[in-house]
Amino acid sequence: MPSVTRVPPEIRAEAAAWLARLRADDRNPSDERAFRAWIAQDPQHVRAFEAVTEAWEAAGAVRPEFARAECDARPRFVTRRRALVAGVSTLAVAGAFIALEQQAYASVYETAVGEQKHVVLPDGTQAFLDTDTRIRAVFGDDTRTVDLDRGRCDFNVAKADSRPFLVNADAWRILTGQAVFDVQRDGEDVAVVVLQGGASVSGVSGAPRNPCLLGPGERLVTANGRVRLDRPNLGRVLAWQTGQAVFENDALADAIREMNHYSVVKLEAGDPAVARLRISGVYHVGDNVAFARSVAALLPVIPEVGMQSVRLVPDPARARKDS
């Protein structure tokens, strides 16, 4: 098949955009006329479009899918921008399959519980791994792919590389060219927040339409099979990068879950009433015993400290006094 790397990256991007435009539901005759005019402008346009089309067809039925209904509440992007990102997404997914037949560079980076690490990927992208995180980078001729097996990672994508940058997180795909973004995976739950630039997020099963596009300050969260878009407090979301956790009237059960990511000494709620207590504040991660004692100073609980666990149980005397 023709090599898509023989034409300039800007023409590759245009070809990917035309592929997406011609496959869109709202394609019209004017689009087809404009496409024919673009093809006639330069022989490189023909080669680029053929290569991108063959790459897409080679990918078969493995295509991104995004639950569009979940995105309809937010303002829609203009068609040309949607088509461009969808087209580049098409190229990236196809490139992932082509890379299996090409010589690729693969690296594995991971952290232990309580450890954080800065690494530089082979293309110069800077990655900051949170506690208990594992990523696998596979860079081929046409795409840069990182699999997030678990944990959380901040990516500052290298600007001097024209290949699409793709992060796989369970059933979700995050695609960008140049961006700074944060991805967290906890089993099947995934959260993506963009800090600079933009990224498209899509699923992997079924037929694609338009990926969800995120701009600076926007976040996509998937949990229990549902998708939510918002603009979170970035100071809270990124507190992990400074070794902190920020809680704002959170259930103690949720705070315990977050703190347990950073310590082999695990916190436990002694009963459902303790789990439902609310907590606010900024806490240093990694020392769950100190956290438990801080909680006990604020809430009617007593920490029972063991060798590898700290159990928070009700303090009957304080509970009666508070009531």
Residues 151 and 59 both lie in one domain: no
Sign of torsion, CA 253 255 258 262?
negative
Residue owning tokens 């303090």: 315
| H helix count then E strand count, the chain | 9, 18
Chain centroid, CA 83 distance in Å:
21
Residues 114 and 131 both lie in one domain: yes
Residue 15 located in a structural domain: yes
Question: Where does the pLDDT of residue 83 fall: very low under 50, low under 70, confident under 90, or very high at 90 and above?
Answer: very low
Range of the domain at 273: 243-322
Phi/psi of residue 264, nearest 5 degrees: -80, -15
Q: How far is CA 206 from CA 25, 64, 65, 89, 167, in A?
A: 16, 7, 6, 15, 19
Could you give the CA distance from residue 300 to residue 312 in angstroms, rounded to a whole number? Answer: 10
Residue 309 located in a structural domain: yes
305-318 residue pLDDT tens: 998 999 999 988 77
DSSP 225-270: TEEEEE---HHHHTGGGGTEEEEEEEEHHHHHHHHHTT-SSEEEES
Residues 120 and 214 both lie in one domain: yes
Q: What is the enclosing helix (H) or strand (E) of 15?
A: helix 9-23
Asked whether 216 and 188 are in contact (CB, 8 A), the reply is no
Residue 83 located in a structural domain: yes
Residues 106 and 182 both lie in one domain: yes
Residues 34 and 110 both lie in one domain: no
Residue 238 located in a structural domain: no
Residues 38 and 122 both lie in one domain: no
Question: Where does the pLDDT of residue 205 fall: very low under 50, low under 70, confident under 90, or very high at 90 and above?
Answer: low
Q: What is the CATH number of the domain that holds 118?
A: 2.60.120.1440
| pLDDT higher than threshold 90 for residue 207 | no
Asked whether 92 and 58 are in contact (CB, 8 A), the reply is no
Residue 261 located in a structural domain: yes
Indicate the pTM of the whole model.
0.66
Residue 194 located in a structural domain: yes
Tell me, what's the pLDDT at 147? 95
Residues 228 and 109 both lie in one domain: yes
Residue 185 located in a structural domain: yes
Question: Where does the pLDDT of residue 28 fall: very low under 50, low under 70, confident under 90, or very high at 90 and above?
Answer: confident
Final residue belonging to a domain, choices 204, 233, 262: 233
Q: What is the CATH number of the domain that holds 308?
A: 3.55.50.30
Q: Report the interhelical angle of 288-298 vs 252-260 (nearest 10°).
A: 160
Q: For 66-70, 158-162, 188-192, 233-237, which range has the lowest pLDDT when averaged over its residues?
A: 66-70
Residues 225 and 104 both lie in one domain: yes
What region does 166 belong to: left with phi over 0, alpha with psi -120 to 50, or beta?
beta
Amino acid letter at 231?
R
- More confident position, 259 or 20: 259
- More confident position, 2 or 249: 249
Nearest alpha carbon to residue 166 among 180, 181, 177: 177
Could you give the CA distance from residue 163 to residue 169 in angstroms, rounded to a whole number? Answer: 19
Could you give the CA distance from residue 108 to residue 106 in angstroms, rounded to a whole number? Answer: 7
Asked whether 116 and 129 are in contact (CB, 8 A), the reply is yes
Per the structure, the count of domains in the chain is 3
Could you give the CA distance from residue 140 to residue 133 in angstroms, rounded to a whole number? Answer: 23
Tell me, what's the pLDDT at 224? 81
Nearest alpha carbon to residue 199 among 164, 236, 231: 164
Tell me, what's the pLDDT at 69? 35
Could you give the CA distance from residue 178 to residue 81 in angstroms, rounded to a whole number? Answer: 15
Final residue belonging to a domain, choices 233, 263, 298: 233
Residues 105 and 226 both lie in one domain: yes
Could you give the CA distance from residue 247 to residue 236 in angstroms, rounded to a whole number? Answer: 8
Residue 215 located in a structural domain: yes
Helix or strand or coil: residue 69?
helix
109-143 residue pLDDT tens: 999 999 999 999 988 999 999 999 999 999 888 88
Residues 247 and 195 both lie in one domain: no
Could you give the CA distance from residue 17 to residue 217 in angstroms, rounded to a whole number? Answer: 25
Residues 115 and 225 both lie in one domain: yes
Q: State both tokens at 186.
A: 């906890």
Residues 179 and 78 both lie in one domain: no
Final residue belonging to a domain, choices 210, 233, 256: 233
- More confident position, 78 or 49: 49
Please count the other Cβ atoms lying within 10 Å of the Cβ belonging to residue 183. 24
Question: Where does the pLDDT of residue 206 fall: very low under 50, low under 70, confident under 90, or very high at 90 and above?
Answer: very low
